Amino acid sequence: MIKFISAGLLVIGVSFLVGCDTTETTMGHGQIQTANGKGSQSVQLKITQDIFDNSGAQAMVTLGNGEVFNGKIIIEREHMESTTDSFDYFSWDSDDDKKKKEKHYPETTNTNSTSYSSQARGVLFSTSRSMQCLMTLSDPRSGFSSGGVGRCTISTGEVVPVQF
């Protein structure tokens, strides 16, 4: 009976996950700046991120002339490992017949953590050019969905400030 209930719950859980879309799409926009700082053509930005993966996302930038750049944008993160020593050195006489002394030595605890930066970087490619992007996220824990600003540079020198 328990096996049937467990199997049923498993089927329901898998069905729920299969039916759910785990991606989140964030839209943005910008304009290519000319050498004198004026906007020359509009830019549309689409960032698609898996909600279970806060490390990066797929990005697509479409220029006003129809040129499309695709690539991955990675959220910078720092992996930190720390070691903590607990100095609980002491001794006491045990209650057994031999009255031996027991000693306790320092304990070492390792802690690993990952912190996400507000910076994200990526390289996107079209059929003939590339684009390097540096973005600043409003809330790195939420990924791209909380918005942010960025600056992309096309390999031919044009600068593209974006907002998402």
pLDDT tens-digit profile of 124-154? Answer: 999 999 999 999 999 988 889 999 999 999 9
Inform me whether the pLDDT recorded for 67 exceeds 50: yes
The answer to whether 118 and 141 have CB atoms below 8 angstroms apart is no
Cβ pair 14, 20 in contact under 8 A = no
Q: What percent of the chain has pLDDT over 70?
A: 65
pLDDT tens sequence across 80-138:
666 555 555 455 555 555 555 555 555 666 666 667 789 999 999 999 999 999 999 99
Among candidate residues 142, 134, 162, the one with its CA nearest the CA of residue 46:
162
- Tell me the domains of the chain and their CATH numbers: 23-76+115-163 (2.40.128.120)
Instruction: State how far Cα 138 lies from the chain centre.
Output: 13
Q: Are 70 and 60 in contact (CB under 8 A)?
A: yes
Strand partners, 81: 112
Distance CA 53, CA 142 (A): 10
Strand-strand pairing, 101-104 and 107-125? unpaired
Who has greater pLDDT, 16 or 149? Answer: 149
Write out the E strands in 13-147.
23-33, 39-50, 56-63, 68-86, 90-93, 101-104, 107-125, 130-137
Structure pTM? 0.66
Closest CA to 120 of 43, 49, 56, 50: 56
